Amino acid sequence: MVAAGASYEARAFGVRSGTPLRAAARRCPDAVFLPTDPAAYAAASDRVMATLRRFPVLVEVWGWDEAFIGGDIDDPHALATGMRAAVATETGLSCSIGIGHNKHQAKIAARYAKPGGIFQLTAGNWTELMADQPVGALWGVGPRTGRKLAELGLSTVADLAAADPAALVDRFGERMAAWLPALARGAGDTGIATEPRMARSRSREVTFPEDLSDRTEIAQRLAALARELGRDVVDAGRRVTRVAVKVRYRSFFTQIRIRTIHGGPTTDPAEIERTALTVLAEKFDLDRPVRLLGVRADLALEPCGTGGSDLG
């Protein structure tokens, strides 16, 4: 069990998202531990997004607690101030706003804005603020890429910004090789998608308190997950194209095996369950203790139904 998030007070003690609960309790003995409440987060999120949409801007929802605001804005600082005030008045919540010429800059600016402030990152102050940062500070560069870049002698944003894409191609492929140095120079996407995205997949997974060794029990637990998932997907009015099964063993070694549904996309939960069980039986070694089981359904991009627009 790990913390999904932590208050700023708890963060001061070294507790953050992903910290095991045991470690969190050790570092911060006075911490209050709350269960997750997805429905409450969704409701609060809806209210915040509705507040933002009242401004004459484009709003792209980016998860529960983030949004990109787009537009040709004369005075972004004034806009941000107005938005923060409106969100506070209408929802009682505090938010931070980062301003930039693209999503990447805005995203990083928002870090500087926290907690509960406004910060602007531009071509003008990008270099000053970012040049000496580790490459991992860039949005989209994680620990793995950071390590690979370090092996090439590129550890800071400035190093990467000056790197020759040709020198990165072998390691990262054509696209990434071109993208990474641009990212380091502050480039980024500017598109704002106001329409809700059509989900590509839906999944369920569970880590067991005690590893599972009994094959029958493993199959039963997977079947139960598949049934829950099937219900979700049907409720959402979507069709399933592929079913993936995920198994994590005691060693933390994790495998995903996938199968395309024969005969085209399905809405039949029984078929989802059956496919998951087949994949489990045919493609996994179940002689080792299992720590986690998961099922994922990949979804057809066209909703099911007979041409109606019941998803409005």
CA torsion through residues 7, 9, 13, 14, sign: positive
**Which H, E and C letters describe 13-70, residue by residue?**
CCCCCCCEHHHHHHHCCCCCCCCCCHHHHHHHHHHHHHHHHCCCCEEEECCCCCEEEE
308: DSSP letter: -
Catalytic (active site) residue 66? yes
Residue selected from 173, 191, 237, 305 as contacting DNA according to rule CB under 7 A: 173
Cα(254)–Cα(292) distance, integer angstroms: 9
Is 12 a residue that touches DNA (CB under 7 A)? no
Site residues (CB under 7 A) for DNA, limited to 240-299: 242, 252, 255-260, 283, 292, 294, 296
Helix axes 38-53, 76-91, angle to 10 degrees: 140
Whether the CB-CB separation of 116 and 88 falls below 8 Å is answered with no
Rounded to the nearest angstrom, the gap between the alpha carbon of residue 110 and the centroid of all alpha carbons in its chain is: 17
Cα(141)–Cα(168) distance, integer angstroms: 14
Is 197 a residue that touches DNA (CB under 7 A)? yes
* Residue (146 or 269) nearer to DNA, CB: 146
Nearest approach in angstroms of CB 64 to DNA is 6
β-partners of residue 98 are 119
Is 64 a residue that touches DNA (CB under 7 A)? yes
Site residues (CB under 7 A) for DNA, limited to 16-35: 17-20, 22-23
CA-closest candidate to residue 235, choices 194, 199, 185, 193: 199
Residue 240 dihedral angles phi and psi, to the nearest 5°: -100, 130
* Stretch binding DNA (CB under 7 A), from 50-58, 125-133, 142-150, 153-161: 142-150
The residue to which tokens 């693209």 are assigned: 102
* Residue (111 or 215) nearer to DNA, CB: 111
- Among 9, 66, 90, 273, which one carries the catalytic annotation? 66
Residue selected from 54, 77, 200, 215 as contacting DNA according to rule CB under 7 A: 200
Residue selected from 148, 185, 227, 274 as contacting DNA according to rule CB under 7 A: 148
Is 43 a residue that touches DNA (CB under 7 A)? no
Is 201 a residue that touches DNA (CB under 7 A)? yes
Residue selected from 54, 77, 175, 215 as contacting DNA according to rule CB under 7 A: 175
Site residues (CB under 7 A) for DNA, limited to 82-121: 107
**Residues found near DNA in the complex (CB under 7 A):** 1-2, 4, 17-20, 22-23, 62-66, 107, 138-146, 148, 173-176, 197, 199-207, 242, 252, 255-260, 283, 292, 294, 296
Q: Which residues are catalytic?
A: 66
